[in-house]
């Protein structure tokens, strides 16, 4: 009988799994996602700063899966799992499964600080990136006509919380916009009075990367005019004031939150199946501990059986991609009655872009630290070819080329639905 596989989440892990199960006899796959499109998270910050369109980094699932006879797409959000019945409840109905794969990624972690959850600007989804772009542009427009000097200072002060790749990349992008764009587009404002702070709870930037890369990122951002504050733990955000654990404060209407992520929890999964960061504990085949036919891959899984990564794999795109491919091989083995292959992560290195012609890359085996223009070109190539469809690559390459030669882009648009209260949408109160 044909086996039913349901995959929740169409990110790096889910899409790679789906694509490798396409047109496989004996199995039917249903991909479930709360969006009707796949998107490329590493380039969200370029959407948020108006250098890329949403269509550059997104592609509709139904078009992507067109022609795959054993693949279906279901629009909906997971609400509850019934493991004993091999059934799950979606916001759009019920589904039965023989095998369930959870590939839902992560969401922003506000560390229980309610004011930050309500008033900071996250960047985990396409909606977040569009909202960030709207707010950044709207605050800048406000700064051009306000007559209150204290208010203008808050409107032109940007605080970015989080020293990982996203925080570093958006800080560098905003610094370049201040230098190359602000004075031309907003002659009413003095670029020198626009302050950009990158605040990090850790003693270094880019904690998972090498010391050479960490130092390079710090020096380059400082040279670009970003004020980097290390060992600065955000405690609260009250009345347009970022409050740090050491008592220092910064007044701003723009707190961009990239400080951490956490996995999602699922109604129906026993509590003992979760580990650190709410990640699902899985065995060497990515099967969730304590459950028979439920698997987890990508950022939502915590696998400690890989001898090179005893504390679990980093929450990176390459881990998700490789786990998706390995699970596809194992599903094929299950159908053929063959033994399964345990997952082993092949570390291809890590990269971070800091600004125009400025990037860093750590390449393992042999360990290489590459920085500057060469690393920047490498970053562009890797990210360009990681986009899911050739149309995304062509559009992105075109926008990057324009931006490189002009140091500008014409995508800074405030887009808002007419039926929304825009003031509430942008949290102006």
pLDDT tens for each residue of 38-95: 999 999 999 999 999 999 999 999 999 999 999 999 999 999 999 999 999 999 999 9
Contacts of 149 (CB under 8 A, 6+ apart): none
Phi, psi for 126 (deg, rounded to 5): -60, -40
Q: Which long-range contacts (CB under 8 A, 24 or more apart) does 403-410 make?
A: 403/51, 404/356, 407/176, 407/180, 407/181, 407/356, 408/180, 408/181, 408/184, 409/50, 409/51
The strand pairing partners of 58, in sequence order, are 39
pLDDT, position 420: 52
Whole-angstrom distance, CA of residue 361 vs CA of residue 370: 5
Q: Which residue ranges of the chain lie beneath pLDDT 50?
A: 422-429
Where is 160: in which H helix or E strand? strand 157-161
pLDDT of residue 414: 87
Per-residue tokens: 200:
């990090």
3-state secondary structure of 33: strand
C-alpha distances in Å from residue 267, one per residue of 75, 83, 97, 307, 397: 19, 10, 17, 31, 42
Our answer to whether residue 212 is catalytic in this structure is no
pLDDT digits (tens, 9 = 90+) for 83-92: 999 999 999 9
First-to-last alpha carbon distance for the chain, in angstroms, is 58
Q: Output the pTM of the full model.
A: 0.91
Find, among 31, 89, 88, the residue nearest to 60 by Cα.
Answer: 31
Catalytic residue from among 131, 169, 176, 220: 169
pLDDT of residue 426: 43
- In order of their start, the domains of the chain are 3-34+76-108+262-336 (3.50.50.60), 114-259+357-425 (3.50.50.100)
What is the spatial distance between Cα 136 and Cα 171, in angstroms, rounded to a whole number? 13
Give the residues across from 351 on adjacent strands: 361
């Amino acid at each position: 009988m044909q086996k039913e596989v349901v995959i929740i989440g169409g990110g790096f892990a889910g899409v790679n799994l789906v694509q490798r199960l396409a047109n496989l006899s004996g199995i039917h796959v249903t991909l479930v996602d709360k969006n009707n499109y796949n998107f490329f998270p590493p380039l969200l910050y370029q959407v948020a700063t108006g250098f890329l369109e949403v269509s550059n980094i997104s592609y509709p699932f139904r078009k992507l899966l067109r022609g795959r006879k054993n693949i279906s797409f279901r629009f909906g959000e997971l609400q509850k799992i019934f493991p004993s019945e091999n059934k799950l409840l979606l916001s759009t109905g019920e589904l039965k499964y023989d095998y369930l794969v959870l590939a839902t990624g992560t969401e922003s972690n506000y560390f229980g600080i309610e004011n930050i959850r309500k008033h900071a600007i996250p960047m985990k989804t396409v909606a977040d990136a569009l909202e960030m772009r709207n707010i950044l542009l709207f605050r800048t427009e406000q700064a051009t006509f306000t007559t209150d000097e204290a208010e203008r200072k808050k409107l032109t002060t940007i605080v970015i919380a989080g020293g990982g790749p996203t925080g570093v990349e958006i800080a560098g992008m905003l610094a370049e916009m201040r230098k190359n764009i602000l004075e031309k587009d907003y002659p009413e404002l003095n670029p020198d009075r626009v302050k950009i702070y990158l605040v990090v709870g850790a003693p270094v930037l880019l904690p998972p990367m090498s010391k050479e890369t960490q130092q390079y990122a710090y020096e380059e951002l400082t040279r670009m005019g970003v004020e980097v504050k290390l060992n600065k733990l955000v405690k609260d955000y009250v009345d347009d004031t970022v409050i740090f654990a050491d008592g220092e404060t910064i007044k701003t209407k723009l707190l961009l939150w990239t400080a951490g992520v956490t996995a999602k929890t699922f109604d129906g999964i026993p509590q003992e199946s979760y580990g650190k960061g709410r990640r699902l504990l899985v065995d060497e085949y990515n099967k969730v501990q304590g459950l028979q036919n439920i698997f987890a891959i990508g950022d939502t899984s915590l696998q400690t059986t890989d001898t090179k990564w005893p504390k679990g794999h980093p929450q990176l795109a390459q881990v998700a991609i490789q786990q998706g491919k390995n699970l596809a091989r194992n599903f094929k083995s299950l159908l053929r009655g063959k033994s399964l292959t345990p997952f082993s992560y092949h570390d291809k290195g890590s990269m971070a872009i800091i600004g125009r012609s400025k990037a860093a890359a750590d390449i393992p085996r042999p360990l290489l630290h590459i920085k500057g223009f060469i690393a920047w070109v490498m970053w562009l190539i890797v990210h360009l070819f990681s986009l899911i469809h050739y149309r995304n690559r062509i559009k992105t390459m075109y926008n990057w080329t324009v931006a490189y030669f002009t140091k500008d882009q014409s995508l800074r648009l405030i887009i808002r639905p007419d039926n929304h209260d825009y003031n509430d949408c942008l949290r102006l109160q």
